[in-house]
Structure 1
Amino acid sequence: MTLRSVLLEDEIILSVDGLFDGNLAPDYHHAVEDAFAAGVCRVVVDLTMATAVDGGGAAVLAATAAGCASRGTHLIIAMPRGVEAEIRDPAQVRLLLRSFEPWQDAG
């Protein structure tokens, strides 16, 4: 599992390669907090290369959604097979992840 982050002027792109789990969550959370401190207007989470997202990964994505909603920041999650969603509520994260069939059993 690998996390890459690119901070642009008002946007951060976070790319996950492999399993997004609780082990990756602290690094991910730190990158998001740094982006919020920098005043980003948009957070893009690229899961197109992720193999699965477990409960820990889903929880940190939901926390990102809550943080973005409270700041008026846009959150976009890109999934494999070209699925892309703008998330405005933390509950949408679990719905999006559950709708992605290969990950349904990941936790």
Structure 2
Amino acid sequence: MTLRSVRLEDEVILSVDGVFDGGLAPSYHQAIEDAFAAGVRRVVVDLTMATAVDGGGTAVLAATAAGCAARDTHLIIAMPRGVEAEIRDPAQVRLLLRSFEPWQDAG
């Protein structure tokens, strides 16, 4: 599992390669906190190279959604197969991830 973070002015792109699980959560959380501290207005979480997202990854993404909503920051989650969604509510994260068939059993 790998996390890459790229900041472009007021946007940050976080790319996950491999399984997004509790092991990756601390690095991801730090990247998000750094982005919020820098005043980004848009967060893109690129899961196109992710092989699965477990409960820990889902929880961190939901926390990101809550943080973005509190800061009036846009959150976009990009999924495999060209699926992209703007998330405005933490509950949308779980629905989006559950709708992606290969990850339904990832936890």
Give the TM-score normalised by the residue count of structure 1: 1.00
Runs of 4+ in 1 over 6 A off after TM superposition: none
Match of residue 50 from structure 1: 50
Q: Distance in 2 between matches of 1:66 and 1:89?
A: 7
Corresponding letter in the other structure for 1:25:
A
Structure 2 matches for 1:12-27, cutoff 5 A? 12-27=12-27
Q: Could you say what the CA RMSD is over the residues aligned between the two structures, in angstroms?
A: 0.2
Match of residue 70 from structure 2: 70
Q: Distance in 2 between matches of 1:21 and 1:104?
A: 14
Q: Distance in 1 between matches of 2:61 and 2:7?
A: 18
Corresponding letter in the other structure for 2:50:
A
Paired residues, what number? 107
Give the percent of matched residue pairs that are identical in Structure 1 and Structure 2.
90
Q: Distance in 1 between matches of 2:59 and 2:50?
A: 16
Corresponding letter in the other structure for 1:92:
Q
Task: Measure how far apart 1:7 and its partner are.
Answer: 1.0
Q: Distance in 2 between matches of 1:105 and 1:85?
A: 21
Deviations 1:30-76 (A, max 9, x none): 00000000000000000000000000000000000000000000000
Corresponding letter in the other structure for 1:85:
A
Q: In the alignment, is residue 40 of structure 1 matched against residue 40 of structure 2?
A: yes
